[in-house]
């Protein structure tokens, strides 16, 4: 993710985090506690180069992609391995929901539908902003819209199914 974000232009760790919060966090989140150690690791491997660029009294480091880093990014982009690593806390709650009274367990489905409904509204707002995204950024947005819509519908269907079988 960091190499991909630096391929466009040099950025600070703070700028990377801001971009993540507006874009990839829907499918690949990152905290400052992950970004800064990873930047140091990538710099140690000569994949990125950091330069001091203080603003006033505030220390700041701007990172850029090295040629070795660009080659690593291109190798990764051209790869075909698909490794799915999903972390979905509301789905984990549903997995263990048999420990709850039935109505409380069903509330987890409603809560999941509401959460994904809110994400869907946020993605729709992103989709409606002026300008055009690059084609594959737009493709990723389409995936998010479709996925969130599917989850909302799935939760509604499953809640109805479970209520009928009670």
Say whether both 101 and 67 belong to one domain: no
84 in a domain, yes or no?
A: no
Model-level pTM greater than 0.85? no
Q: How many residues does the chain have?
A: 166
Number of structural domains (the chain) is 2
Q: Which of 95, 110, 93 is nearest to 163 (CA)?
A: 110
Please give the Cα distance from 110 to 106 (Å, whole number): 7
Confidence (pLDDT) at 11: 97
> Which of 17, 52, 78 is the last residue in one of the domains?
78
Confidence (pLDDT) at 36: 96
Confidence (pLDDT) at 114: 97
Say whether both 6 and 74 belong to one domain: yes
Positions in the chain whose pLDDT score sits under 70? none
Confidence (pLDDT) at 84: 84
Per the listing, tokens 């995204």 go with: 133
Which of 127-156 are b and which e, b meaning 16 or more Cβ less than 10 Å from the residue's Cβ?
Answer: eeeeeeeeeeeeebbeebbebbeebbeebe
Edge to edge, the sheet with strand 48-52 lists: 11-12, 61-65, 48-52
Task: Please give the residue range of the domain that contains residue 140.
Answer: 89-164
């Amino acid at each position: 993710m960091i190499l991909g974000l630096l391929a466009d232009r040099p950025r600070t760790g703070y700028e990377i985090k801001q971009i993540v919060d507006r874009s990839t966090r829907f499918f690949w989140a990152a905290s400052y506690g992950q970004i800064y150690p990873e930047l140091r690791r990538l710099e140690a491997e000569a994949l990125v180069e950091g330069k001091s660029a203080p603003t006033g009294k505030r220390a700041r480091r701007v990172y850029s992609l090295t040629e070795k880093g660009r080659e690593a990014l291109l190798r990764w982009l051209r790869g075909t391995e698909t490794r799915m690593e999903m972390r979905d806390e509301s789905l984990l709650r549903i997995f263990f929901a048999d420990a709850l009274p039935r109505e409380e367990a069903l509330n987890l489905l409603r809560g999941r539908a509401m959460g994904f409904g809110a994400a869907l509204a946020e993605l729709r707002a992103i989709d409606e902003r002026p300008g055009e995204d690059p084609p594959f950024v737009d493709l990723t947005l389409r995936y998010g819209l479709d996925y969130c819509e599917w989850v909302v519908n799935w939760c509604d269907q499953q809640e109805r199914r479970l209520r009928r079988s009670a």
